[in-house]
Structure 1
Amino acid sequence: MINRVVVPVKAFAEAKTRLSPVLTARQREQLARAFATDTLALLAAHPEVSSITVVSDDPQVLEVAADYGADSFHERRGPGLGLNAALEACLFTLQDAVAQSLIVLHADLPCLTCDDLSAVIALRRRAGGVVLGCDRRGSGTNLLAFSSIEHMPMAFGRDSCARFQRQADARGLQCSVMLRAGIGHDVDAPEDLRALQARRGDRVIGAATSRLLAAWAPEDAAPGDALAMMEPCRGVVD
């Protein structure tokens, strides 16, 4: 089975704005770059990934993509266009008469492992239909896998996991929801970052992200709530 992975990546300088209460603009840019680097490095090393396409219009993002042999799809921006429209345009170029597995994967999953991705590919091969990788709250969608011969309208955003399930049901497709820590732990809000800090030193965290977290010093952080001075989040469930 051909497995094509599509990774939408926001411009590093514009990413992770919800972390502004705890990180400076420079730190948010560094973090977004580290996340993307780790995601692309994992995909490039995975033996079952046939191709990688990065969706972005940011030259810095596309430079990192090229470092890992990824193809680029230049996002077209304009009134009313956003993540879902850009993904629809990209996926249209990848669909052909040959059945293949398309995997849309977000780039802010610092604990994602090769085993996580292998589990998704194995489940799609075994069960067919659609595989959803929900966030750890069970609301958003961090991964979507489906066949190229079945058109799945892109519906990422708040409560997208439920929307994708309804879409699959409407099309008579088997829908499997995969709950794995590496897929579920995205980093959007300060509490997500605290949970990641609590796992500092964990070997599942990507190399670039690990180096960045280790390098940050208190004086580099935003006043009042520096990352290096955060109390680790308690009760994180893996």
Structure 2
Amino acid sequence: MNVSAFIPIKKFSSSKNRLANIITSPEREVLAASMAKKTIDTLHNSKICNSITVVTNDKSLQLDYSTSYFTNSSLNDGLNEAIYAQTTNDIILIMHADLPKINEPDLHELAHSFDIKKVSIISDLSMQGTNCLMFNSAISFDLKFGLNSYNLFMHEFKNNRLNYQDISIESLQDDLDSEEDYFKLIKYINS
């Protein structure tokens, strides 16, 4: 099974603006860089994927164990461009980089629960956003990342009669989107 991972990462200098009331711009930049590095390193060390591509609007972004795909397109369009630019995709894994609790055993759980006939979706803890998608590249649907993406994906799957599985893995659901998340996840952020 050839798994290609795609990680959308915007410029670190413009990341995590929702935390502006509690940490400075340079601190947010360091935080975003640290989480991205941890996500890429953990994915690499888990050995569940054959390639890792960072989809970014930062021409200078280079992270170990990954290649960078530069785009000025929107999140969903940029991901589609990067996916179509690679020709060796059997299984696509799209994962956000702001998952402070990410770990290798849970990535293995995701890989082992994957069913090639279904789209695997992992929401955030509030079931509003989508932190992870894993699917056979032969399955066609529109990407819906962004505000309220989880419900938009559910609608997309049902409208297109796609089989999907909703997977609950806390470390892949617990993302960093708010001040509350920051204080809840601080011990993972600093490790």
- What TM-score, normalized by structure 2, do the two folds share? 0.93
CA contact (8 A) 2:59 2:70 kept: no
Letter in 2 for 1:74: F
| Deviation (angstroms), 1:85 | 1.3
C-alpha RMSD over aligned residues: 1.6
Out of 120, 125, 129, which is 1:131 matched to?
120
Out of 99, 104, 107, which is 2:97 matched to?
107
| Deviation (angstroms), 1:95 | 5.0
**Distance in 2, Cα, partners of 1:59 & 1:95:** 22
User: Which residue of structure 1 lines up, in the alignment, with residue 14 of structure 2?
Assistant: 14
Q: Indicate yes or no: 2:167 matched with 1:175.
A: no
Out of 78, 84, 101, which is 2:76 matched to?
84
| Deviation (angstroms), 1:89 | 1.1
**Distance in 2, Cα, partners of 1:117 & 1:174:** 21
| Structure 1 residue runs without a partner (length 5+) | 212-238
User: Which residue of structure 2 lines up, in the alignment, with residue 163 of structure 1?
Assistant: 152
| Structure 2 residue runs without a partner (length 5+) | none
Out of 180, 185, 188, which is 1:196 matched to?
185
CA contact (8 A) 1:56 1:72 kept: yes
CA contact (8 A) 2:48 2:107 kept: no
Letter in 1 for 2:174: H
**Distance in 1, Cα, partners of 2:10 & 2:58:** 7
| Deviation (angstroms), 1:12 | 0.5
Letter in 2 for 1:73: Y
**Distance in 1, Cα, partners of 2:170 & 2:17:** 23
Q: Indicate yes or no: 2:190 matched with 1:210.
A: yes
CA offsets per residue over residues 151-188 of structure 1, 9 Å max, x none?
Answer: 22111112211211222223322211112211111111
Letter in 2 for 1:90: A
CA contact (8 A) 1:169 1:175 kept: no
**Distance in 1, Cα, partners of 2:124 & 2:87:** 27
Kindly name which structure, 1 or 2, has the bigger radius of gyration based on alpha carbons: 1
CA offsets per residue over residues 96-143 of structure 1, 9 Å max, x none?
Answer: 6x7x11010000001011122222222223x63101110010110000
